[in-house]
Amino acid sequence: MELFELIKSARYCVALTGAGISTLSGIPDFRGGLPGELQRRFSPEVLNLYLSGLEELVPENKEARLVFPEKIFDSVRFEEDPAFFYKVAGLPIYRGIKKAEPSLVHQVLAKLVNRGLLQAIITQNIDMLHQKAQNHTNSRSPCRIIELHGSPAIHYCLHCPGIRIDYEKAAALFEAGELPLCPRCGRALKPNITFYGEMLPLEARRQAEEEAQAADLMLVLGTSLSVHPAADLPRTVLRRGGRIIIVNRQDTIVDENAALRLYELEETFTELNELLEAFPQSHLTYRPE
C-alpha cells in the first residue's frame, strides 16, 4: 500500500484533520446543505457538531435550524444571553461529545503515534475525539494535538483571569440544569471554542505552523481545506520540500500537488489498519529543536 510506505519512509509526519473523519463517529457532515453565508462565517467542523444536536430541538423546521448557528456562535450574543447558548448547544456538546466514540481514522492515527510514525495532529474539529482515541490506546508516545478552533475541554470567565473549569464539571452542571458560573463575578463561563467575532487561538496557530514547517509528510484527512489558516498548512509543507497525502471525498485546493490522492477514508484506513497491525517495528520519534 503506497500510503503506508510513504508514512514509514517519512522523517516527520503530521496529520491535518477535519469534519470528514468525525462523520464516521456519527457526527453528520452538513457542508452540502448549508447556505454559503454560514459556511463562510463558521468552519464546517464547528457547524457539524452543533447542527447534529439541533434537529432534536426543532425537527419540523429546517430553516429555523439553519438560523441558529449565527446566534449560537456570536460572541456578543453569548455575553448578552449565555443561557441561549447552553440551551441550544448543550445537547451536542455535553451529551453528543460524551457519547461519540473515536472513528477508525482516530484509532489508526493513535496507533501511528504509538508506533512513532506520527508526530503531531492538527485538527479543525472541536469534538476532542483525538484525545479520546489516544486515551483508549494508552499512548505513551509524545504527540501534539493542536485544536485550531479550540474545544470545550476548558471553560473560562471572559472577565476574571484564572477562572477555569474542565469539560467534565461543565457537563455535570448542564445535566443538572445549571449554567457554569464564575465564582468571582457570577457571569456564565464560556467554552474555549472560537466564536464568530473572535480570533483563532494564536498559540494553536503558531504550533500548527511550526509543525507544518517541520513536516516532510502531511496527511490531509477529511477536510476540503476551505477554511484558513488550516488551508495554508499543506502549502507550507510543500514550500519546504515536503509531500502531502490527501484523503477526502471533496476536491481541495492542493489536489494537483498531492503525492497521493485518495477519496474514501473508511476504506483507506481499514486497509492501513490491517497493514499497521502486521507491522512490528516502531520508528524513533523525531522532534526538531
DSSP letter at 274 equals H
Q: Which three cell numbers stand for residue 58?
A: 426543532
Q: How far, in Å, CA of 125 to CA of 151, rounded?
A: 8
CB 103 within 8 A of CB 268: no
Rg from Cα positions in the chain = 19
Q: How far, in Å, CA of 20 to CA of 221, rounded?
A: 7
Q: How far, in Å, CA of 78 to CA of 159, rounded?
A: 13
Among candidate residues 206, 209, 250, 227, the one with its CA nearest the CA of residue 47: 227
To which H or E segment does residue 221 belong? strand 217-221
Name the strands in the sheet holding 164-166, side by side, starting at the edge strand that comes first in the sequence.
Answer: 164-166, 150-156, 190-193
Catalytic residue among 136, 149, 228, 283: 149
To which H or E segment does residue 197 belong? none
32: helix, coil or strand? helix
Q: Is 149 in the active site?
A: yes
For the annotated catalytic residues, the residue numbers are 149
